[in-house]
Amino acid sequence: MTSPQQPSMMLTLHAMRLLGFADTESVAERFGQDPHHAERLLIDAGAKGWALRSSFGGTRGWSLTVAGRTENERLLAAELDSTGGYAVVTAVHAKFAPLNADVVAACSKLQLHWLADGDQPNGGIDEQTHQTFAQAAASLSDLEVRLTAVLSRFGGYAKRLEQAVANAATEPAWLTATDRDSFHRVWFELHEDLIATLGIPR
């Protein structure tokens, strides 16, 4: 989680975009906003047609509407313009692309291997695969420094990725699982954050 920030509609909408579907507490926590202020912003977003509250799997939460996604992108573009960070984020995205290809390939390799074993991540991971994730996390640490120099909200990704790699040493599921802050889940979120910020398709 990042340090507490002033409540804003941009951060609230963006948290929903990155999380996909989340309860009020999770939306607030994503960017260190006060839950009560975040709830007011979510209700306001709902009234404007930018957010939808619904139930999924027995859990009540919020998600962006098409109109909300458009508004989120407008606010992100305004933020990027005000900070003059377009060149930096574009350069980081260019460095991220080859890393992303390696991570996606490694995740697919693991998932296929585990599927062949009955969908159970048994037997750990080989050294080459481990190095792919470890090196991607290390590279991202340097890129995050460049990103946070212009947009502080990008802080925290490297730490989350490093923690996932550390956890995977004893529990390989931390690399690709969807029920925790796994490497794949954090990496996917970062990718979404980059392309949303630049206003480009995935």
| Phi-psi category of residue 60: left, alpha or beta, with phi > 0 → left and psi -120 to 50 → alpha | beta
How high does pLDDT run on average in the chain?
90
Categorize the per-residue pLDDT at 119 as very low, low, confident or very high, splitting at 50, 70 and 90. Answer: low
Tell me the one-letter amino acid at 104. V
Query: Quick check: helix, strand or coil at residue 60?
Result: strand
pLDDT at 122 > cutoff 60? no
Residue 51 near residue 16 (C-beta atoms within 8 A) = yes
Categorize the per-residue pLDDT at 121 as very low, low, confident or very high, splitting at 50, 70 and 90. Answer: low
β-pairing, 59-64 with 51-56? antiparallel
The mean pLDDT of 1-19, rounded to a whole number, is 77
Higher pLDDT: 159 or 170? It is 159
| Phi-psi category of residue 170: left, alpha or beta, with phi > 0 → left and psi -120 to 50 → alpha | alpha
Residue 185 near residue 18 (C-beta atoms within 8 A) = no
pLDDT at 6 > cutoff 60? no
Q: What is the pLDDT of residue 5?
A: 46
Q: How far apart are CA 170 and CA 119, in angstroms?
A: 17
